[in-house]
Amino acid sequence: TVLSEFNYSKVYSEIIQTFRLPFGYSFSVRLFGGYGNGTIPQQAKFFIATSSPIDQFYRPLYRSKIFPADLRKHIEPFGGAGLRGYIDQNVSGDRIYSVNFELNLPSLLPLLGNLPIIGNLFKTTLFFDAGKIWDQNQRASLKGIKYDLGFGVRSTIFEQFSSMTNLFSEIGLNMIRVDFPVYVSHPINGEKKLKLRWVLGFDKTF
C-alpha cells in the first residue's frame, strides 16, 4: 500500500486437514479466518463465495472471456469463505471466518467404482460450508451465519495427460469440478432454500 490512496493491513489463515477412511473414502476439513483493517480496496476484500479479484488475477482461466456470459455467472474460483451456494450473493467484507467439510467418495457412485473409465475419472463429493463476513464498523458475532450443503462431481481427466504435457496446468485447468449447493440457509428474496443450483470450477477446492 506504499504510494497508494489505500492504507490497510490484511491477514488471513487457512487450516486444511484430510482424514483417510476405509474403502477409498476421505473426509476433509478447511478452517478459514481473515482480518482486515484500514481502507481496503474492493478487489482486496474477502468474499463469501470465491477468492478475491486479486487472487483471480493469477488464475487466467477464471478471467478468460472465452466462456459465454450465461456460463460465467456459474464459474466459481474457490476461495474466501468458500460458501458455494452464495455465488449469486458474493458479498465482500473486511473480516471473515468459515468452515468447509467434504466427504470424498472414491468413484462417481459407489457401485460404479469398478468400471474401467467412469470409475477412474469421476469422483463424488458431499459438502457443507458455513461462515460469516462483515465490515470493520460491524461487531463480530455468531449471529447471521450462512451455510449451504450439497454434492459435487469431479473429473480428473486432465491428470491423465500430465505426463505428456503441462499445457493444462499452465492455464489453470487442473480438473473439472461441478458442485450442486442444493440447500442454502439465506437464499435470494423470492427463491426457495432448497433448489437445484450449480457452480463450475477448474481446480481442487481444498
Check: CB of residue 105 under 8 Å from CB of residue 125: yes
Looking at the DSSP assignment, which residues form a beta bridge with residue 31?
15, 99
* Residue 33 in this model has a pLDDT that exceeds 70: yes
Interatomic CA distance for residues 76 and 156, integer angstroms: 18
What CA–CA distance (Å, rounded) separates 80 from 116? 37
Q: Which pLDDT score, from 0 to 100, does residue 171 have?
A: 60
pLDDT for the residue numbered 113: 55
Question: In which residue are the cell numbers 463465495 written?
Answer: 49
Residues near 111 by beta carbon (within 8 Å), at least 6 away in sequence: none
Q: Are 85 and 181 in contact (CB under 8 A)?
A: yes
Question: What average pLDDT does this structure show over 189-193?
Answer: 95
- Across the chain, what does the average pLDDT equal? 87
Round to whole Å and give the CA distance between 43 and 49. 14
Identify how many contiguous H helices and E strands the chain contains and give both numbers.
Answer: 5, 9
Q: Which pLDDT tens digit goes with each residue over 12-23?
A: 999 999 999 998
Residue 135 clears pLDDT 70, i.e. is over it? yes
Give tens-digit pLDDT for 49-98: 999 988 887 777 777 777 888 888 898 889 999 999 999 999 999 999 99
pLDDT (mean) for 124-145: 93
Q: What is the pLDDT of residue 199?
A: 96
Q: What pTM, to 2 d.p., does this model score?
A: 0.85
d(C-alpha 7, C-alpha 71), whole Å:
36
The three-class DSSP label of residue 60 is helix
Look at 126 and 63; give whichever has higher pLDDT: 126
Higher pLDDT, 142 or 104: 104
